[in-house]
C-alpha cells in the first residue's frame, strides 16, 4: 500500500505542477529568487540510494592506506583492530544517508544487498547485531562519525568487491545502524583504485527500476546538455542514457514522464519553461529513436516550479516519473 500511494503522489505532483503552469502562466512575469546554492552531494554511480533517504554527510578523499574491515572488531592494547582487514590505496567516497523513520534495518539491508546480487558482487565479510562487536568501535574508531553510534543489536556491516568491467574492481563497505532515538542511518564507503575510477555512466537499470517502482520517481544520472547551433541544446553524450533505454526495454508495462527542471533566477519564467520542455523533448526523441514506443513516454518541462527533492542542490535535473504500470 505504501508503494502505491507514493507512486500516486509522484504522478499527482507532475499533474499539479503542469496544471499550475496552465492556470497561472500569464500572471507570473519573472521567477522569484531561488534558495542559495550549496555544494552538490551526489550518489555514487556504483550504488543507488534507498528511496526517500537524504544525504547528511558527503566526503571524497585520496588515501594511501585505507582500512577495509573484514572481521569482528576487538580492542587490543588500547587500540581497536579487526580480526581481518585489507589496506587499500585510492579514492574513497564516504556518504551518510538518513533513512525515513518508517523503515527497518532489514528493509535497507535487503535493498542494498539486492543491488550487489544483481551486479554479481563478491561479499567478503558481513555481520549483524552483537556479532559485529561494539558499535562504539565502528562509529568512533573505524568510521570516526559519532552519528553512527547506537545499540549493538541494531547494527549491520558488509564489505564487498564490486563486479565491474574496470581494470581493478572497486571495494565498498556498508554500515547500518538504528540509534537509540530510533533514527536509522546508512553509511557507505566506496574505494576506487587510482587506475580504475568508476565512470558516472555505470548505472544498473535493474536497481534504478526497483527505486522507480518503490518511490514513483527517480532523478536520472549522467544527463548533461551543451549548446548546439543557435539556441538549440544537445545532449553531451547521448550514449550515457543507454541505461534508460534498457530500463524501459526491461519494464515493458511501464509508461513514464520525462520531467525537466531548470532554475536560473535571473531569467524570465517563460524562457525557463520553454528551455526545460525542450530538454525533456530531446530525451524523449532519443528514446523513440532507440526503439521505445512513443506512447510510453511523455515530456514535460516545469522550469523552476518544483525545486524540492532529497538532494541538497537539485534545482536543475531530469526526473523520471511513473505515469502508469500496466500489470497483467
pLDDT digits (tens, 9 = 90+) for 256-267: 999 998 888 888
Distances (CA, A) of 34 to 7, 73, 114, 184, 313: 27, 47, 38, 31, 11
Nine-digit cell at 145? 562519525
Which residue reads 554500515 in cell numbers?
175
% of residues, the chain, pLDDT over 70 = 79
What is the β-pairing status of strands 317-325 and 254-261?
Answer: antiparallel
- The pLDDT, as a whole number, for residue 242 is 84
Tell me the pLDDT tens digit for each residue of 85-129.
888 888 999 999 999 988 999 999 999 998 888 888 999 999 999
| pLDDT value at 185 more than 90 | yes
Tell me the pLDDT tens digit for each residue of 68-77.
999 988 888 8
Confidence of residue 278 (pLDDT cuts 50, 70, 90): very high
Confidence of residue 296 (pLDDT cuts 50, 70, 90): very high
Nine-digit cell at 274? 520553454
Nine-digit cell at 310? 532529497
Confidence of residue 315 (pLDDT cuts 50, 70, 90): low
Supply the mean pLDDT for the chain.
80
Q: Is 307 exposed, middle or buried (0-12, 13-18, 19+ CB in 10 A)?
A: middle
- The pLDDT, as a whole number, for residue 163 is 84
User: What is the reported pTM?
Assistant: 0.56
d(CA 76, CA 47): 34
Which of 39, 34, 76, 33 minimizes the C-alpha distance to 57?
A: 39
Q: Which residues pair with 194 in a beta bridge?
A: none
Which of 310, 327, 269, 229 minimizes the C-alpha distance to 32?
A: 269
Q: Please give the average per-residue pLDDT across 36-54, as a whole number.
A: 70
Helices (H), strands (E): how many in the chain? 6, 14
Lowest mean pLDDT among 103-107, 116-120, 132-136, 304-308: 304-308
Torsion of CA 104, 106, 109, 112, to 10 degrees: -80
| pLDDT value at 193 more than 90 | no
d(CA 188, CA 56): 12
Q: Please give the average per-residue pLDDT across 36-53, as a whole number.
A: 69
Structural domains in the chain plus CATH codes: 2-40+201-325 (3.30.1330.60), 54-192 (3.40.1000)
Which helix (H) or strand (E) element contains residue 241?
none
By three-state DSSP, how is residue 156 classified? Answer: strand
For helices 2-24 and 205-215, angle between their N-to-C axes, nearest 10 degrees: 80
Amino acid at each position: 500500500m505504501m508503494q502505491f500511494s507514493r507512486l500516486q503522489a509522484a504522478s499527482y505532483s507532475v499533474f499539479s505542477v503542469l496544471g499550475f503552469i496552465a492556470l497561472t502562466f500569464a500572471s507570473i512575469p519573472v521567477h522569484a529568487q531561488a534558495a542559495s546554492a550549496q555544494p552538490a552531494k551526489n550518489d555514487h554511480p556504483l550504488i543507488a540510494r534507498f528511496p526517500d533517504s537524504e544525504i547528511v554527510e558527503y566526503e571524497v578523499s585520496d588515501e594511501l592506506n585505507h582500512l577495509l574491515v573484514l572481521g569482528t572488531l576487538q580492542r587490543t592494547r588500547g587500540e581497536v583492530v579487526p580480526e581481518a582487514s585489507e589496506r587499500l590505496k585510492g579514492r574513497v567516497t564516504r556518504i551518510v544517508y538518513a533513512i525515513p523513520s518508517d523503515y527497518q534495518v532489514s528493509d535497507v539491508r535487503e535493498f542494498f544487498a539486492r543491488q550487489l546480487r544483481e551486479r554479481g558482487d563478491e561479499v567478503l565479510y558481513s555481520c549483524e547485531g552483537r556479532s559485529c562487536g561494539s558499535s562504539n568501535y565502528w562509529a568512533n574508531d573505524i568510521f570516526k562519525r559519532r552519528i553512527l553510534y547506537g545499540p549493538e543489536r541494531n547494527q549491520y556491516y558488509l564489505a564487498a568487491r564490486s563486479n565491474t568491467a574496470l581494470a581493478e574492481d572497486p571495494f565498498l563497505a556498508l554500515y547500518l545502524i538504528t540509534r537509540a532515538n530510533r533514527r536509522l542511518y546508512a553509511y557507505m564507503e566506496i574505494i576506487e583504485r587510482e587506475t580504475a575510477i568508476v565512470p558516472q555512466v555505470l548505472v544498473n537499470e535493474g536497481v534504478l527500476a526497483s527505486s522507480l517502482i518503490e518511490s514513483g520517481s527517480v532523478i536520472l544520472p549522467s544527463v548533461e546538455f551543451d549548446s548546439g547551433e543557435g539556441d538549440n541544446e544537445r545532449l553531451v553524450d547521448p550514449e550515457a542514457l543507454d541505461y534508460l533505454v534498457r530500463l524501459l526495454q526491461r519494464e515493458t508495462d511501464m509508461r513514464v514522464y520525462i520531467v525537466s527542471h531548470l532554475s536560473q533566477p535571473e531569467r524570465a519564467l517563460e524562457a525557463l519553461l520553454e528551455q526545460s520542455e525542450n530538454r525533456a523533448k530531446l530525451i524523449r526523441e532519443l528514446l523513440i529513436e532507440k526503439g521505445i514506443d512513443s506512447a510510453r513516454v511523455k515530456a514535460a518541462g516545469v522550469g523552476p516550479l518544483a525545486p524540492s527533492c532529497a538532494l541538497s542542490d537539485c534545482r536543475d535535473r531530469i526526473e523520471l516519473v511513473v505515469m502508469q504500470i500496466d500489470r497483467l
